[in-house]
Structure 1
């Protein structure tokens, strides 16, 4: 026998709320798939993580639909976040304990903290690199991939008791793969060369299903004191040739080919700071001059591998300390100042704005830029 229909005014409040919720879910489910993706991709990760509990179909869309995850990352690029890290080690109290607690804090471009969490790993961490929405943490004998948006850190399978030294991290759009590049010195690779192996894993798939591949030896010795950057599927490191003959090592992830690129400037006294970043769709070299208070920007032309001066900007009394890598196609430069302020300079409008920093920034390491995403790791 069919149950009598009870008017809404006579129902219990929890029943009314539940039915309304079901109607809302069914309502959006009746929309075209493309429109659902377009709507949900504009929401922040925190909200979407709650939606995963709505139903199995929503969970599948938000965790396994590659089209949605890719679209959400594109929308997230409009609101980038800063990832600030701090390491808390108990080695002083317990020397035999090698574990390290890493605290990750996310800050938006207004300076407000959006998230903070802690994870215990096999530290200490000597390299931390971000690429898009993911980061790589490199310890002496272990590697981790991290998606800070969903608070997930997964250990990369690696040979036990094998020391890890120089790491690069990049993304290859053509194959939808992330690549961790390990450059290392071995007894059989001499004459300044380094061995090279690459760990590849597909976006939205379990990191542990990825694999290592050894490629040809690197003909140069990369300098590990500067973090590498990835631009358009190419990873760049600084070469350890010193100021007088500075150059950049590049690895094309698609072709798996190394190359050396000379710097456009040879005068070590001209700039107090000289760093390379991804900018305006290519690799750029940014130099700061204390004498003239100017910021010069060269862009590497891909065809002939020559540098062209694109901008020379007056920074007045600003005292830059370091650059923070931004998106490859961004037209904004994030400059970390001596006063621990962060200046965002727009090349398009030629205006700058100050970003209110986290109050405890002095206790943290150099921040990285990343984008919120639901890319699963495990």
Structure 2
């Protein structure tokens, strides 16, 4: 009797779940979009798995502006000596399920902006330059906003400019440039403020012998974080400096990859365990407490089975700001790829696009910003 009663309750719960599922999936698309627009980015990504219709609604360009914005894709340049022009800019979505949403040609720019180079990106804004004469500008492809930036003057260090913008804090942006000074054998930073429209020099006190990889950086917690030969070096817009030690099993001169995901600073390294990618999260920003979250073998990243993969055959690009994804270049087959490292059952590597014959020269993540910030 008890067993029959238990089976009856189980059938009732199962029927109830089916009814709830039917009610949700039968809602009008307009109402579904309204509900989904109130979710945070991470939950929105998970909702793509509910049904084919939900995945279509979330991925469709007509609805894109209505949802909380997360990583949309990557601008990247390839160089092919057999092509004219040799350098070409592309855009590819962060999900292989979507069609490209962004025009990489920047057709909204004035016609006099020739040979535009993309130098950095941060939270929806792009730092660019063009030649004859050299000019800097920051633009927003989503709103077609544009503002000119005065030249910092250090001609040999123009490729070391880093854009800083936090859409949740202010509509103003900053640009950082690491510079060396002969006095005191120290390292300083030139910082541009869109609020004042001027560059200022801040002495940050780093040892001049410290090797800093400026193109591996991230703006997080109001500070620009750089990878150095022995630590993560951070500086804020007032020149206040901070040094964050590298995680436990990382060797000096490892030159890993730094970024931010789910509110945490992360560090990815390709050394320490037969070129296995180690993903560390800085769980406590105030006390420098790192936690090892994931390890991925290069064989997993390249779907190579038991075939050995060498360190130079793949290059890490970035992580996802809201999900546990790794984006990287498969240099063996010249693919741009993504790996779902957070998937517990059978993690997968996905091809986003082919790079063709071109050599990948630069990659910049892009998160759309549908706010008028550049005036």
TM-score where L is the length of structure 1: 0.62
Superimposed CA distance per residue, residues 313-346 of structure 1 (whole angstroms, 9 cap, x where no aligned partner): 3443535632223454432221222232233223
| Counterpart in the other structure of 2:105 | 117
Among residues 64, 67, 82, which one is paired with 2:74 in the alignment? 82
Q: Does 1:217 align with 2:170?
A: no
Q: How does 1:311-350 map to 2 (within 5 A)?
A: 311-316=294-299, 318=302, 319=309, 321-339=314-332, 340-350=334-344
Q: In structure 2, how many angstroms separate the alpha carbons of the residues matched to 1:161 and 1:251? A: 19
Q: In structure 2, how many angstroms separate the alpha carbons of the residues matched to 1:82 and 1:281? A: 20
Quote how far apart the aligned CAs of 1:355 are: 2.5
| Counterpart in the other structure of 1:369 | 365
Q: Does 1:145 align with 2:138?
A: yes
Among residues 218, 234, 250, which one is paired with 1:250 in the alignment? 234
Relative to structure 1, is the Cα distance of residues 82 and 284 closer, same or farther in structure 2, using a 3 angstrom cutoff?
A: same
Work out whether residues 78 and 362 of structure 2, in 8 Å CA contact, stay in contact via their aligned partners in 1. no
Relative to structure 1, is the Cα distance of residues 330 and 218 closer, same or farther in structure 2, using a 3 angstrom cutoff?
A: farther
Among residues 161, 172, 176, which one is paired with 1:177 in the alignment? 172
| Counterpart in the other structure of 2:285 | 302
Relative to structure 1, is the Cα distance of residues 327 and 152 closer, same or farther in structure 2, using a 3 angstrom cutoff?
A: farther
Name stretches of at least 5 consecutive residues in structure 1 with no aligned partner. 1-34, 49-70, 89-99, 202-209
Quote how far apart the aligned CAs of 1:352 are: 2.5
Q: How does 1:1-378 map to 2 (within 5 A)?
A: 72=65, 75-77=68-70, 80-85=72-77, 104-108=89-93, 109-110=95-96, 112-114=99-101, 115-118=103-106, 121=113, 125=117, 128-137=119-128, 142-150=135-143, 153-158=146-151, 164-165=157-158, 166-172=160-166, 173-186=168-181, 189-201=183-195, 211-212=197-198, 214=200, 216-220=202-206, 221=208, 223-224=212-213, 226-239=215-228, 242=229, 246-253=230-237, 256-264=239-247, 265-267=249-251, 274-289=256-271, 292=274, 294-300=276-282, 301-316=284-299, 318=302, 319=309, 321-339=314-332, 340-350=334-344, 351-360=347-356, 362-376=358-372, 377-378=374-375
Relative to structure 1, is the Cα distance of residues 200 and 352 closer, same or farther in structure 2, using a 3 angstrom cutoff?
A: farther
Quote how far apart the aligned CAs of 1:302 are: 0.5
Relative to structure 1, is the Cα distance of residues 124 and 151 closer, same or farther in structure 2, using a 3 angstrom cutoff?
A: closer
Q: In structure 2, how many angstroms separate the alpha carbons of the residues matched to 1:361 and 1:73? A: 37
Quote how far apart the aligned CAs of 1:304 are: 0.8
Superimposed CA distance per residue, residues 174-208 of structure 1 (whole angstroms, 9 cap, x where no aligned partner): 33432212332355x4412224323235xxxxxxx
Superimposed CA distance per residue, residues 25-63 of structure 1 (whole angstroms, 9 cap, x where no aligned partner): xxxxxxxxxx7xx69xx8999759xxxxxxxxxxxxxxx
Q: In structure 2, how many angstroms separate the alpha carbons of the residues matched to 1:155 and 1:46? A: 29
Q: In structure 1, how many angstroms separate the alpha carbons of the residues matched to 2:130 and 2:202? A: 24
SS at match of 1:137: strand
SS at match of 1:373: coil
Name stretches of at least 5 consecutive residues in structure 2 with no aligned partner. 1-33, 39-56, 303-308
SS at match of 2:280: strand
Work out whether residues 138 and 167 of structure 1, in 8 Å CA contact, stay in contact via their aligned partners in 2. no
| Counterpart in the other structure of 1:30 | none
Q: Which range is displaced more, 368-377 or 116-125?
A: 116-125
Quote how far apart the aligned CAs of 1:258 are: 1.0
SS at match of 1:117: coil
Q: Which range is displaced more, 177-186 or 132-141?
A: 132-141
Relative to structure 1, is the Cα distance of residues 87 and 211 closer, same or farther in structure 2, using a 3 angstrom cutoff?
A: farther
| Counterpart in the other structure of 2:31 | none
Work out whether residues 250 and 258 of structure 1, in 8 Å CA contact, stay in contact via their aligned partners in 2. yes
- Number of residue-to-residue matches in the alignment: 292
| Counterpart in the other structure of 1:207 | none
SS at match of 1:316: helix
Work out whether residues 113 and 358 of structure 1, in 8 Å CA contact, stay in contact via their aligned partners in 2. no
